[in-house]
Amino acid sequence: IIRWMGYKPDTFHSLVMMGCAFTSVILWSILGLGGGDGIFPSLPGMGAALIAHFVMNQVRSPDISPLGRYSLPNGQTWGVVAMVILVPITTAETVYFVSGPDSSDSMGGIADYTVDSNLILERLGDGTEYIGDGETLEIDLHTDAISWSGENRNVVAVLVTLTYSEDETSGGPGCIAPGASAPDPDTITGTITHDNETGTASGQNQAQGEASHEVLVEWYNSSLLNGTVSGLSESEIASQLDAGETGLGAYMLSLNVEVQEGGGPACNHNDEGEEVSYVVETLVLDYTINAVNDSE
């Protein structure tokens, strides 16, 4: 544009304009401001180049008109600068906004679809704690501590696995009676909370060996992963599978133990609590939506 108006920039002037244009395009793309719902990157690039031209002209050669062969009174120069920059950009962006593609338009309408999916477990935290009878232990967790295996951050659920055994002891002459030394099961309860999502589940230990149970909390429509999905558009399916940043942030794990002691005449039992091991994992969903071909 400026060469067409008769302005002859030197090499340094041209390089600065090009550098500003390329930098603005790259930054615009990195920030995700382009695409079907954004501003086409070449528009801020052109604006940055023109701004650089006017600034360079004002600093290096203020005696030369920035419009080349066209000379205007000083009072109107910056008004023209604004018009030269804003009018093309505004016009092009308006046309692009009206006629350009909408990101949701590029997705399929209401039809039959299947979803190929893969759930990836990312370790949020783990450990072993001794919890006394009637006590509740609260453990703070945060997704910032996750060593992510990939770039996907579509966290759609959290899974807690609790493992525990029985350490109840007994003693006394009466314990030789059948069943007198058998421990009563204790109740171990786990609760996981993230924002407004909460899940709770309880399990009981056994006289011999380890026992375990799980707590699962989901905030996506997992039923869409099974079979053919009908009556929904592709964007509607995606909205129920993509959690965005919902699953990121702070979590709270609460562990509670309620002890029950067995016993009988002359057979004393002692059970002060239980050792509970926990593993907390976030579930990251990777999915692809496929239209069902009726001809198949």
Per-residue model confidence (pLDDT) at position 103? 46
Report residue 266 as tokens. 């002359």
**H/E run at residue 252:** strand 250-258
| Most confident listed range (43-52, 256-265, 271-280) | 271-280
Per-residue model confidence (pLDDT) at position 182? 62
Is pLDDT larger for residue 266 or for residue 149? 149
Q: In this predicted structure, which of 98-107, 143-152, 190-199 has the lowest mean pLDDT?
A: 98-107
pLDDT tens digits for 228-238?
A: 999 999 999 99
Total-model pTM: 0.61
pLDDT tens digits for 151-171?
A: 999 999 999 999 998 776 655
The percentage of the chain sitting over the pLDDT mark of 90, rounded to a whole number, equals 43
* Domain ranges, ordered by start, for the chain: 11-99, 111-291
Query: CA of 193: how far to CAs of 55, 140, 198, 211, 226, in Å?
Result: 55, 10, 4, 23, 27
